[in-house]
Amino acid sequence: MLFTQLWDLFIAFARASNLGFGGGPAVIPLIKIEVVERYHWLTNAQFTDALAVGNALPGPIATKLPAYVSYQVAGWLGVLVSLIGTILPTVLAVILLTGFLMKYSNSPILKGMLKGVRPVVVVLIAQTAFDMGIGTFPNLITWGIAAVTVVSLYWLKLHPALIIVLSMAFGLLVFR
Amino acid sequence: MLKKLWELFIAFTRASNLGFGGGPALIPLIKAEAVDRYQWLDNEEFADALAIGNALPGPIATKMAAYIGYKEAGWLGVLVALLGTIAPTVLIVVILGSLIVKYSNSPELKAMLKAVRPVVVVLVAQTAYDMGKKSFPNYSSWGIAIVTVALLYFVNIHPAFIIIAAMLFGWAAYGRIRKEKVQDSQK
């Protein structure tokens, strides 16, 4: 039972990480598909909470999400296998295939492939935002929070982590 | 050797744990440590390492840590650089996550989460928007986006297939034109 869970965690995060081109943020939609839709480890709302915690903290997002999810599924062993699945394949590739990658990273073929995949990544992230939005806006106040967030990000240039903390304080005052 | 390992650990701990916004936001901080402070690489070598990292999928911060850690101190260097990069936030995220699960029935936590979810939706939408600004240099990239939306909503296909298909399309459509590629190669 534990073994199959560990295997599922390993394979889910290995798949999500190693298909996402564009660094951690490109991996978020693929993680959501594994965690919410395929394995049902978290609900849509719980996944949004995980992202809130992840975004409130510094560091790579593609390792915070696996740690958050897999600890709840299978404890520290789960954290370990999901992180190995997330980083090991590309860590090995970067070290063992350096010479090959050095040549191939400037090839027009690879650049063409990355250019082709970028719109897909954008659509996947936008879809993730849309999916997470379902159920997130039960009333006008939540729309107001979203509007204030946009203003804070683009005009006031507030730090995202600060917006996350402030919104939680606001929720504590208003929604309780 | 021990000093080098310690430097790798502390450099990547500092770079990773002072930058918000996921791996790509950490790149300038990693550069500040690896190029400016410790001079493990020069500017050009750093650009090469970044190009190699961007050629591969997955989180960028761990690829950079692995590359630089290996170059400076072999496999042990890889290990300490990776630990510095991910261990602190992994620990904190696990603790916060278990607190959220433990208090999931508390009205206070529910109220806080209800207010934070719209913020997260906006942050993810912003990521899509920011990436989108650099991802649509021509009409065919819009075409790829439209086909992606159609496949996701009407065919319900796993994104892996769309990603692989888009890469093959990119190879065929953009892979052979050599000159005009330069300006959009850097993200």
Q: What is the pLDDT of residues A19-67, one digit of tens each?
A: 988 888 889 999 999 999 999 999 999 999 999 998 888 888 899 999 9
**Quick check: B54 contacting A, CB < 8 Å?**
yes
| Angle separating helix axes B2-17 and B60-102, nearest 10 degrees | 60
Considering only the beta carbons, identify the residue of B60, B90, B158 that sits closest to A23: B60
Asked if pLDDT for residue B80 goes beyond 90, the answer is: yes
CB A67 within 8 A of CB A82: yes
Tell me the Cα Rg of chain A. Answer: 18
Residue of chain A whose alpha carbon sits nearest to that of B65:
A91
B20 has a pLDDT exceeding 50:
yes
Ramachandran bin of A59, using left for φ above 0, alpha for ψ from -120 to 50, beta for the remaining angles: left
pLDDT > 70? residue B77 = yes
Residue B184 predicted with pLDDT over 70: no
What tokens were used for B112? 């806080």
- pLDDT tens by residue, A89-100: 999 998 998 888
A71 token code pair: 């600890």
Mean pLDDT score, A169-174:
93
Report domain extents, chain B.
2-102, 134-184
Mean pLDDT of chain B: 88
Residue B178: pLDDT band with limits 50, 70, 90: low
Orientation angle between helical segments A108-133 and B159-174, nearest 10 degrees: 150
**pLDDT confidence of residue B30:** 93
Residues B39 and A7: their CA atoms lie apart, in Å, by 40
Question: What does each C-alpha distance from B79 to A59, B42, B58, B68, B111 come to in angstroms?
Answer: 17, 22, 18, 11, 40
Q: What is the pLDDT of residue B186?
A: 46
Q: Give long-range contacts, CB 8 A cutoff, 24+ apart: A81-84.
A: A81/A6, A81/A7, A81/A9, A81/A10, A82/A9, A82/A10, A82/A12, A82/A13, A83/A13, A83/B86, A83/B90, A84/A10
Secondary structure class of A40 (helix, strand, coil)? coil
Domain boundaries, chain A: 2-136, 137-176
> What CA–CA distance (Å, rounded) separates B16 from A88?
18
Burial class (CB in 10 A: 0-12, 13-18, 19+), A64: buried
CA distance A61 to A54: 6
Nearest CA in chain A to B20: A58
Looking at chain A, the number of H-run helices and the number of E-run strands are 8, 0
Cβ contact (<8 Å) for B128 and A125?
yes
Q: Which of residues 98-157 of B touch A (CB under 8 A)?
A: 98, 100-101, 107-108, 110-128, 131-132, 134-137, 141-142, 144-145, 148-149, 152
CB contacts of A175 in chain B (<8 Å) are 110-111, 114-115
